[in-house]
Amino acid sequence: MRLVELSRREHGGLRIRGELVEATAAGQHLIPIVASEFRKAATQYPIVFAKNPETGRFNSYVLSGLGVKENLFWSGTELDVAYVPLNVRRQPFYVGMNDAPADAGGGANVLCIDLDSACLDPAGKKTLVNPDGTDSAYLKEILSILNELVAGQAATEQLIGTLLSLRLLAPILLDIALDDGTPLTLKGLYGLDEEKFRELDEGTIARLWKAGHLDLIYSVLLGSGQLFKLSPSADASARHTGSTRGRAGAERSAC
């Protein structure tokens, strides 16, 4: 990866092959999402939480495979899904931070591009600037996606903080077996403890609703039912805070 701040003048001639953008997720089994994506994502994927191995802080993800670097929605040419997460659609663009001194605008977010991305191709149909030097419709779409990701980070952190304070996050212990008897165990993922959620008093539920967290919680619960899309031949049943059991087996790390 070679990230640089995007310059309309210097990089205006770059072109993006849109059909290669989704290919960047072909080897991702965990794709980060923000709270504003939960409703759409829950119709397609399990929504899970995992700790950053460096910081120990939780983040939210869609689970797209049962093995590391395995995306079961990747068809070989595209993601066979109704909803593609923002963190995939924004490729090869990122949000960086201006390293100029504070009194010169340092610390502000800046648009960056990965010059090593396979999405960059002179034959690509997506352009960054119009002939008159203004941002193209494609680049405006990318900026909108990145703005949603940046704005959504705070809301996502607030939700996770609330779930932790109520002790509603619990490990998902997945123990399933495929039809051919192949065992598969996942560790390192967290989901909502539905039993503890149902024990919350009316006052707490009201506060969750007022904070806009209740519908997000229900989205996570709804998404948990998508887990078996990832292993349609699995002999298993699911519940959080316990284990998802089929026939016992060896383990694959999910993180």
DSSP state letters, 101-155: -GGGTTT-EEEEEETT-TTB-TT-SEESB-TTSSBPHHHHHHHHHHHHHHHHHHH
Cα 188 from chain centroid (whole Å): 16
Question: Is 16 among the domain residues?
Answer: no
Residue 212 lies in a domain: yes
What mean pLDDT do residues 114-143 have?
96
Residue 181 lies in a domain: yes
**Assigned domain for 7 exists:** no
Task: Identify the pLDDT of residue 64.
Answer: 94
- What does the block give as tokens for 51? 């700790």
pLDDT at 182: 66
Cβ proximity of 22 and 92 under 8 Å: no
Percent of the chain at pLDDT exceeding 70: 83
Collapsing DSSP to helix, strand or coil, 218 comes out as helix
Q: Is residue 30 part of a domain?
A: yes
Domain contains 164: yes
| Banded model confidence at residue 232, pLDDT cuts 50, 70, 90 | low
Q: What would the two tokens of residue 83 be?
A: 């909803």
- Encode pLDDT of 32-82 as tens digits: 999 999 999 999 999 999 998 788 899 999 999 888 888 999 999 999 999
Q: What integer best gives the mean pLDDT of the chain? A: 86
Residue 28 lies in domain: 22-90+135-253
Is 145 inside a domain boundary? yes
- When divided into structural domains, the chain yields a total of 1
Does residue 39 sit in helix, strand or coil? helix
The confidence band for 241, taking pLDDT boundaries of 50, 70 and 90, is: very low
The answer to whether residue 249 scores a pLDDT higher than 50 is no
Q: Tell me the pTM.
A: 0.85
Cα-to-chain-centroid distance, residue 22: 13
User: Is 248 a residue whose pLDDT tops 80?
Assistant: no
Q: What is the pLDDT of residue 252?
A: 33
How confident is the model at residue 199, as a pLDDT?
97
100 assigned to some structural domain: no
Pick the residue with more confidence: 179 or 35? 35
